[in-house]
Amino acid sequence: MLWCASFGAAASRAGTRGPVDVPEYVRPYVKAQKNDDRDAEAIAEASLRPTMRFVPVKSEVQSDLQSLHRARERLVAERTALINHLRAVLLERGIIVAQGRRKLAKELPVIVADAASGMSPRIRQLISDLREEWHSLDDRIASFDAELVSLARTDEAARRLASVPGIGTINATALVAAVGDGSAFARGRDMAAWLGLVPRQATTGGKPRLLGISKRGNRYLRNNLIHGARSVLPYLIQRDTPLGRWLTGLMTRAHKNTVVVALANKLARIAWAVLVHRRGFDAAHVAA
């Protein structure tokens, strides 16, 4: 309560414009020792800086859509943990199944029905119970997917985003929930940087040094964009478009994983352009 009162007083004096994007931006404005009053004063001071970035307030529709994505993400994580548990139980008994969720799902009924597999009846029953739990998670995730597809069909921005290769229903609705119309960013590179898809810099003495991607910002969106880029990469390379030719040249001088991240960066910039300019994707107009 004391901190809230202190912040309210400092904010009213400074006329703060809204919440600051990253808490670490406030640290340079904290004077001497840390306490609630000085924290509030530093927040108010940081909010007055002309170059400070702020968090745009989400609409109720965006907030609801983001909650759906978080619930689905939790179920997917639970399913992955369950599959790893099943593989561990089988591996302890010398049963190795090829990688891949579908291959394991295909082999489990055979393993459970095989009385000569060396597993006790209780373990076979346990695996059967875990398999039923897996099916329940699949049904719940499919229900979320169907709901997101229905929402994407009724949202104009999501429909435009879904026209971009590598951005399907999940990515389109997640982008709409996170960035809205994209007006919070001045350019596409700013959104790519917010997603952590640009190199970290360690430049000193006028000598630029670029490291790996920063991995800052929205982890969920970044992961989905990278997965989308990986899945659409073979398709785009085969197309005689500016984007396809750029990827073909990049594949000759960089590792495939680097190309995937570069494509994810490009998809983020294209998504920003589609949102801001309110028009669908046109492969002929993509600058390499």
Is position 256 within any domain?
yes
> Does 33 lie in the same domain as 7?
yes
Is position 53 within any domain?
no
Q: What percentage of the chain exceeds 70 in pLDDT?
A: 90
Is position 52 within any domain?
no
> Does 8 lie in the same domain as 79?
no
Structural contact between residues 195 and 228, judged by C-beta atoms closer than 8 angstroms: no
Q: What is the pLDDT of residue 256?
A: 93
Domain boundary, last residue among 110, 137, 154: 154
pLDDT classification of 48: cutoffs 50, 70, 90: confident
Is position 149 within any domain?
yes
What distance in Å separates the CA atoms of residue 268 and residue 222, rounded to the nearest whole number?
A: 9
Q: What is the pLDDT of residue 7?
A: 46
Is position 54 within any domain?
no
pLDDT classification of 239: cutoffs 50, 70, 90: confident
> Does 38 lie in the same domain as 81?
no
Is position 131 within any domain?
yes
pLDDT classification of 280: cutoffs 50, 70, 90: confident
Q: What's the angle, vertex CA 140, arms to CA 134 and CA 144, rounded to 5?
A: 140
What distance in Å separates the CA atoms of residue 217 and residue 59, rounded to the nearest whole number?
A: 20
> Does 130 lie in the same domain as 177?
no
> Does 71 lie in the same domain as 33?
no
> Does 77 lie in the same domain as 33?
no
> Does 128 lie in the same domain as 66?
yes
> Does 265 lie in the same domain as 219?
yes
> Does 77 lie in the same domain as 41?
no
Which tens digits make up the pLDDT trace of 107-152?
999 888 887 777 888 999 999 999 999 999 999 999 999 999 999 9
Element (H, E) at 210: strand 210-213
> Does 74 lie in the same domain as 17?
no
> Does 89 lie in the same domain as 116?
yes
Q: What average pLDDT does the chain have? A: 86
> Does 176 lie in the same domain as 131?
no
Q: Which of 195, 145, 194 is nearest to 170 (CA)?
A: 145
What distance in Å separates the CA atoms of residue 35 and residue 3, rounded to the nearest whole number?
A: 9
From 7-11, 28-32, 174-178, 243-247, the region with the lowest mean pLDDT: 7-11
Domain range enclosing 241: 159-285
Is position 55 within any domain?
no
When divided into structural domains, the chain yields a total of: 3
